[in-house]
Structure 1
Amino acid sequence: MSREKLRANGNMIEREVIHTNKVSKRIMDIAQDVCEFFVVFIKILLELFLRIFDKMMTKKLKDISGEIVLITGAGHGIGRELALHYTAFGSVVICVDINEKNNEETVKKAKRLMQTSVHAYTCDVSDREAVLKLAVKVESEVGRISVLVNNVGIMPTHPLEQHTAKEIKRVFDINVLSHFWALEAFLPHMKQQGRGHIICISSIAGIVGLTNLVPYCATKYAVRGMMEALHEELRDGPYKNLIKLTVVYPYMTNTGLCKRPKVKFPSMLGLLDPKEVARQIVLAHRSSVNEITIPSSLLHINNWCRLLPLRCGLLLKDYIDSGVESDL
């Protein structure tokens, strides 16, 4: 046999060996992927059973006495009620608001419950430098916080074309960027202690788009995404299970933000009482719940509607017919 034929045969055998190796590797990769998926599937089933079992059992609530809790937007509404609830549970409460008079009123009410555990700080939380300075001051005067409640928010309610550029920027500065500045300032407090809890108040407008609330909805969806992404970062790092996160989506609440609410079924979906909303938020904190709507049924209704064709969800939304009228 000539040298050329031997070389050709050798090349052919080499190609067949390479092809065989590639096929074998591909089969092994597929088998490994199938095995890994099977393991994940079993873990998902076990998690479902655990969650069902957990729902059936009486859950022990976390003791929050002695926690140092900082609440933004504590001068009125949900923020004020949260300050009162946390004070009643024996937490050290730090009330932060841009309105000094309203904030001091909250502190007065809280001190009737607990004389020495409530503190007031005036701060524009949309100002990054002001928030960073606040963190230094709080640490030196009160201590490192262990619970951060990002509650502050504003809600102009009119059609998108009637929002000014300044107004839209202000909504994002307060409703979104203030959360980032608070995290930048106070998340290190929790990491230094190796524990903590971050609670962000989004809105039902953070899971459902609504008329006259385009910028507001965008900010509340942003809060939802921020918290989900932050949860992933903490879950993959050294603070897994040490720093908890809870995002809350309240329905329309009687705080003054909803100037012209539209409610078709007031007996079922009327404006919520801020006291009840605050109670549910503290309960979610003590239960270490990741996310909750108030009322809780709205989250399940939304999740199921998202599985249906878009038109089905719109038909249900039209039937409920709740939202806000223009405030102009």
Structure 2
Amino acid sequence: MPSSVLYSRLHELGPPLRDLVFSPFLSGPLLLAVTHAPDAVRHLVLNLARRVPGLLQHAPPPNFDLSTVATVLRVLFALGIVRRLNRALNNAAANAWRLTASKGWDWPNEIAVVTGGSSGIGMLTVEKLAALGLRVAVLDIQDPPKSMENNARIHFFKCDVTSSESVAAAADAVRRELGHPSILINNAGITSPMAILKMSESYLRKIFGVNSMSHWFTVQQFLPHMIEVNKGHVVTVASIASFVALPTAADYSASKAAALAFHESLTSELKHTYKAPNVLTTVVHPNFVRTPLIEGWADHLERSGVRMLTSEQVAEPIVQQIKSRKAGQLIIPRSATLISGIRGWPTWLQELVRDTLGRSSLKS
């Protein structure tokens, strides 16, 4: 079996099992056993077969060849080493080539700002951050849920994130009542599946205002102090749609691709323009999430074969990333990581993927 096919099949496994299979700490010792003690391995396999009822009749003969097993283990060991090296390089690159976590964080004294924090992913993120001891400012145009009202660590500021004036007023209130935030999570997002020819100008301006332009407005308010003290964390919630555009989703995909470009430029500016490498940046790419954002469309997606994520499955990795005191890129679920490289694929392969996903997304 070619190594590329083996890798593809193994990648379909769940993350815990896949990590175990690809672990060089498992494949390495097994490879040594197979290549340096083949007789002992055969003896072990046969003994195990004898102990399992009904298995002996399917067990290999005493002189069975271990060369195929050794080849598979060599491939797994090599892939395991490459994956670990790749992760280490990704982690270092995202953190200004720093191998350790940034210092100076004290959660009870940190202040976080979360846009769109009154529902969905944002609401759970707010609650988890508050549970860590942070004070959290929610910037949202809709009122917070009842569950937040009695939490002294959560503060609500009514804000239209598409308006620079509204964001500036909310930012002034946050600084006046809480202090300077060290964490900014640009989470607010909207969508409404619609063909390009049916999209109104007013809605187009609204979706880009919420999904993209709001990032400029919030960062312009809260980043200067982070740069001044060379400490902070800006989290940009983008989407898998940043990489793949589908029918009736040009607005959403384009606005989320803009969010990704914003994150990349911000990361570069912090290092080279502002000389503030300890201000961390993280971009998050979740697949479809069952939230109020896509209510009424979720059932259609599931009928098309899409596995919907829960808000919990997205909020938890975001909070864990903040707790790690490291920057990075989160693709959720991890099994969708392969799709992030689609822009580098041959055009014919890109089109095959878009055709397949496009037809599926339009099925009723």
2:302 is the counterpart of 1:227: no
Note the C-alpha offset of 1:265: 7.4
Q: Is the 8 A contact 1:234 1:240 kept in 2?
A: yes
- Can you list the C-alpha shifts for 1:226-274, whole angstroms capped at 9, x where unaligned? 11011111111444321010111110001022232424675xx511010
1:265-304 correspondence runs (5 A): 266=305, 269-287=306-324, 288-303=326-341
In structure 2, the CA distance between the partners of 1:135 and 1:167, relative to structure 1 (3 Å rule), is same
Q: Is the 8 A contact 1:255 1:274 kept in 2?
A: yes
Letter in 2 for 1:292: L
In structure 2, the CA distance between the partners of 1:156 and 1:64, relative to structure 1 (3 Å rule), is farther
Note the C-alpha offset of 1:302: 2.9
2:240 is the counterpart of 1:204: yes
Q: Which runs of 5+ in 2 are unaligned?
A: 1-81, 93-99
Letter in 2 for 1:290: G
Letter in 2 for 1:244: L
RMSD between superposed Cα atoms in Å = 3.1
Note the C-alpha offset of 1:322: 8.3
1:129-140 correspondence runs (5 A): 129-140=165-176
Q: Which runs of 5+ in 1 are unaligned?
A: 1-44
Question: Secondary structure at the residue paired with 1:134?
Answer: helix
Note the C-alpha offset of 1:326: 9.9
Note the C-alpha offset of 1:283: 1.8
Question: Secondary structure at the residue paired with 2:283?
Answer: strand
Q: For residues 101 and 272 of structure 2, what CA distance do their matches in structure 1 show?
A: 26
- The equivalent position to 1:236 in structure 2, one of 241, 259, 272, is 272
In structure 2, the CA distance between the partners of 1:106 and 1:171, relative to structure 1 (3 Å rule), is farther
Q: For residues 270 and 89 of structure 2, what CA distance do their matches in structure 1 show?
A: 26
- The equivalent position to 1:153 in structure 2, one of 189, 208, 213, is 189
In structure 2, the CA distance between the partners of 1:50 and 1:223, relative to structure 1 (3 Å rule), is closer
Q: For residues 261 and 91 of structure 2, what CA distance do their matches in structure 1 show?
A: 27
Q: Is the 8 A contact 1:146 1:195 kept in 2?
A: yes
Note the C-alpha offset of 1:130: 1.3
1:27-38 correspondence runs (5 A): none
Letter in 1 for 2:337: L
- Can you list the C-alpha shifts for 1:72-99, whole angstroms capped at 9, x where unaligned? 0011101101111111111111111101
TM-score, normalization by structure 1: 0.74
Which residue number in structure 2 is paired with residue 163 of structure 1? Answer: 199
In structure 2, the CA distance between the partners of 1:183 and 1:272, relative to structure 1 (3 Å rule), is same
Letter in 1 for 2:322: H
In structure 2, the CA distance between the partners of 1:188 and 1:61, relative to structure 1 (3 Å rule), is closer
- The equivalent position to 2:250 in structure 1, one of 214, 219, 242, is 214
2:143 is the counterpart of 1:107: no
Q: Which has the larger radius of gyration?
A: 1
In structure 2, the CA distance between the partners of 1:53 and 1:93, relative to structure 1 (3 Å rule), is closer
Letter in 1 for 2:154: V
Which residue number in structure 2 is paired with residue 184 of structure 1? Answer: 220
Q: For residues 252 and 318 of structure 2, what CA distance do their matches in structure 1 show?
A: 21
TM-score, normalization by structure 2: 0.67
In structure 2, the CA distance between the partners of 1:246 and 1:323, relative to structure 1 (3 Å rule), is farther
2:297 is the counterpart of 1:260: yes
Identity %: 28
- Can you list the C-alpha shifts for 1:154-176, whole angstroms capped at 9, x where unaligned? 10111110111111111111111
Number of aligned positions between the proteins = 270
Note the C-alpha offset of 1:48: 5.0
Q: Is the 8 A contact 1:146 1:197 kept in 2?
A: yes
